[in-house]
Amino acid sequence: MSEKEESEEKKQMVPSKVTNTVLLVFVIMTLFFVPLIPLFLHHNMYSLLFTAIFITGTQLISKNRKGILTLAILAISMTWISDAMNLELIMGISKGINIVLFIFIVLDLVKQVSRAKMVTPKVILEAINGYLLIGLVFSVVVAILMSIDQGSFSFDKINPQPVTDGYPYSQYIYYTFITMATVGYGDVVPLTPMARSMSILISVTGQLYIAVVIAVLVGKYISQHGRSVQ
């Protein structure tokens, strides 16, 4: 690496670390704070936090940030407008764009972790954010499956009364992360072939991410420590 490239990397490291920290704060609020507040506030809080996560995530990608940010703002605007005016077609299109952009952000974070030459706090934050964002992406997919067929998962078992307008989104997040961790409490189970296939994908992705990324980080740290000792 040339001196010019090293200086540019050092300049970008601090802002990127701050952005990763802000993203982690938004994700933690989404996972742990919102489920604790009154249910009638959930929809607005999740909308605000997902918007914040989305915009912050676009600032962490390695290339074409302005273009991705423009597309993200367009998708977010479509989501808010379609939600306010109850336009199902536009809502479906915006959700599709959001999922694709979310996946792109996650893949870019994983790529940055794999290409990092040293294990730094920034790299660790990127690895953590990548894992948590994968869970949020899958929670959106679970929500979409439930909107298509409310019999996809047995969320009725953990709700005292039947619902007609969808289960709390916190329950989709709960199921996704429990499945990613392969804990499997059994309180919510997939009931349809599509839901079972998605559950397998969630669990396998979660385990592969941990196995591969942790192995990469440990390998880089050992190599880095070995060079410092020499």
Cβ atoms 113, 217 nearer than 8 A: yes
**Could you tell me if residue 6 is inside a domain?**
no
| 174 — pLDDT class (breaks 50, 70, 90) | very high
> Residue 45: what pLDDT?
92
- The H or E element containing residue 186 is none
180-201 pLDDT, tens digit each: 998 878 889 999 999 999 999 9
**Could you tell me if residue 5 is inside a domain?**
no
222 or 55, which is more confident: 55
**Could you tell me if residue 1 is inside a domain?**
no
> Residue 6: what pLDDT?
46
Q: Provide, rounded to the nearest whole percent, the portion of the chain with pLDDT above 70.
A: 87
**Could you tell me if residue 20 is inside a domain?**
yes
**Could you tell me if residue 133 is inside a domain?**
yes
Q: What is the count of structural domains for the chain?
A: 1
User: Quick one: tokens of 86?
Assistant: 């109850």
- Residue listed under structure tokens 């948590």: 132
User: Quick one: tokens of 11?
Assistant: 């300049």
CATH code, domain carrying 70: 1.10.287.70
**Could you tell me if residue 3 is inside a domain?**
no
Cβ atoms 229, 206 nearer than 8 A: no
85-121 pLDDT, tens digit each: 776 777 777 777 778 888 888 888 888 888 877 888 8
Q: What is the sign of the dihedral through the CA atoms of 197, 203, 205 and 211?
A: negative
> Residue 230: what pLDDT?
54
129-142 pLDDT, tens digit each: 999 999 999 998 99
| 161 — pLDDT class (breaks 50, 70, 90) | low
**Could you tell me if residue 30 is inside a domain?**
yes
**Cα distances (angstroms) measured from residue 3 to each of 7, 8, 10, 81, 112:** 6, 9, 11, 48, 20
Specify the 3-state DSSP secondary structure of 138.
helix
**Could you tell me if residue 171 is inside a domain?**
yes
State the residue range of the domain holding 57: 12-229
**CA–CA distance, 55 with 70 (Å, rounded to integer):** 10
The most confident of 38-42, 63-67, 81-85, 116-120, by mean pLDDT: 38-42
Cβ atoms 32, 45 nearer than 8 A: no
- The H or E element containing residue 1 is none
Does the pTM surpass 0.75? The reply is yes
